[in-house]
Amino acid sequence: MMSSSFRTAMMLIGVYFLSTLSGVAMVQAQTSPEISLDCQQPQAIDVFPGSTRTTIVYCSLTNPTAVSETVKLTYQGGILGVAGPGSKSVSGGGTASFEVALRAELRAPEGQQVVTITAEVITWGGGPVTGISEPVESKVLAVYKQFSRLRVGAELAFLQLRPKVDYMLQFDVYNDGNARDKFNVEVQNYDELNDAGFQLSIPLLTDEIDSLAPPTKFRVQMRTPKNQGWTDQYYNLQFKATSEFSVRTEGIPNYQVQSMTIYIRGVYLPGFELTGTMMITALAAIALVGRKDTSRDEDIEYSELEPMDSRLF
């Protein structure tokens, strides 16, 4: 019984010494520093006015060796602003985390930028490392998110017209977003104006506009009301443009409304245009005939006067 326990104890001691010798052999076999770098893909960057325009890259360093290391960190981000630690210390067999901040330009065009993070061991076990350490890299992709923004302008803010007059209104739609977008237009209070007697039509209801390109000119064909009698009334036409990208992606419609005041003043009588034309023609004919008759009377008066006898003088 004792011999069996003794053999078991000796076996355990032997296993312990073998494992110790194996660990020592592994440490002795490690003749150069090593480091591994892992970085997560960052969230997309908002670049619209008022946003922070930043995102964070989360990285970690792992030291597979048994001794501590000092790791130099460098960054390449193109047009992006990059801020992160210049170096990190990593204990033997340990891991160290760090963060890298990326900052984009205001209104940066929709797109992406590769960011390269490089780690290089510069000290190992307290001593400098020269020429025997290969730097490692981790690449991430920074994405600039598209945002919608628009402006709407009008040729006129106030317009005075007579009843039953055709007029072409013009509105300018600008794409102030950072990518190509489609814009849909409408007269927001169409039903109200239609009930008041206006006839409205929009030849072009939608168009795609490049970012910061010249505006697209949308036109509204309008005929003013022909309500019988005298009209002296102000109306408000509301032209609305909406970004299709905002509806499809941003979740909240991004739109602009441009108002125009229309003052209708004058009289309209059914058939007045034809009657008026006939009356003017008739009056002109009467005036012409009267003028001819007057000329004839003058000729008669002069012809009926007898010439004076020169003998009286």
Predicted pLDDT of residue 240: 98
* Amino acid of residue 73: L
Better pLDDT: 277 or 100:
100
Instruction: Tell me the pTM.
Output: 0.70
Q: Which two tokens stand for residue 295?
A: 């000329």
Better pLDDT: 275 or 229:
229
Domain 33-144 and domain 150-268, same fold? Reply is yes
For residue 141, pLDDT over 70 is answered with: yes
Q: Where are the domains of the chain?
A: 33-144, 150-268
Collect all residues with Cβ–Cβ distance below 8 Å to 256 and sequence separation of at least 6: 150, 151, 152, 240, 241
Reported residue count of the chain is 313
pLDDT in tens, 144-158: 999 999 999 998 999
Predicted pLDDT of residue 142: 97
Q: 263-272: string of b/e by CB count within 10 Å (b at 16+)?
A: ebeeebeeee
**Topology of domain 150-268, CATH:** Immunoglobulin-like (2.60.40)
Better pLDDT: 285 or 202:
202
pLDDT band at 268 (very low <50, low <70, confident <90, very high): confident
**Was domain 33-144 assigned CATH 3.40.50.150?**
no
For residue 184, pLDDT over 90 is answered with: yes
Least confident of 19-33, 50-64, 105-119: 19-33
Could you give the strand order of the β-sheet that contains 150-154, starting from the edge strand earlier in sequence?
A: 150-154, 166-175, 216-223, 199-201
Residue that has been written with the tokens 């929009």 in this structure: 202
Better pLDDT: 168 or 131:
168
